[in-house]
Amino acid sequence: MSHSHSPSLDPATRDQLIQAAFAGRDRAYSPHSHFRVGAALLTTSGEVITGCSVDCAAYSETICAERVAIVKAVSEGIRSFVALAVVSDALHAISPCGPCRQVLREFCPLNLCVFLAPADWTARRERGDALTGVKETTLVELFPMSYDEGFDLPRWSKAQKDERASAKNAG
């Protein structure tokens, strides 16, 4: 698979981000699903923001770890991200659900680095297999043709359209 469009992370930063996602997973509130998920976002300033899944007895109000991490960051004034790691209790990589992909798209660049690691990643890493079982992808690969991409809505003023165009070129 080619990731030439993706600004990949150095291995130490990637491993720290995955470890942070596990720390998030360990704080998950999962009395109903018994399925813990953790996420960690790397900001452009190098900060790591974690999230955990939060169950609710009325199941549909359960919130995913990815959205918890994003909302935490945005509520602290942080809206600029370069990478995301997601882990769970599953022994294979799991990927963000549809609604989370849309929320990630709201705040993250399409070339966001995404690392999806299996639950036994720490043991694999200790054996020298830090990348075994880790799926490395990008937001655009997870969410092609996403809503908002390239839209040109008539309600926007010319100034807004120009601003979008220059922001896009800058990104």
Q: Give how far Cα 161 sits from Cα of 88, 150, 156, Å.
A: 40, 11, 6
Q: In the numeric block, which tokens belong to residue 115?
A: 């690392």
Binding residues for Zn ion, per CB under 5 A? Answer: 64, 97, 100
CA separation for the pair 70, 87 (Å, rounded): 16
> Is 66 considered catalytic here?
yes
Smaller CB distance to Zn ion: residue 23 or 63? 63
Smaller CB distance to Zn ion: residue 58 or 167? 58
Nearest-approach distance from CB 152 to Zn ion, in angstroms? 29
Nearest-approach distance from CB 156 to Zn ion, in angstroms? 29
Nearest-approach distance from CB 27 to Zn ion, in angstroms? 17
Smaller CB distance to Zn ion: residue 35 or 124? 35
Q: Give how far Cα 167 sits from Cα of 125, 137, 152, Å.
A: 39, 23, 14
Instruction: State the sign of the Cα–Cα–Cα–Cα dihedral 65, 102, 15, 135.
Output: positive
Which member of 47, 61, 66, 106 is catalytic?
A: 66
What 3-state class would DSSP assign to 118? Answer: coil
Q: Which residues are catalytic?
A: 66
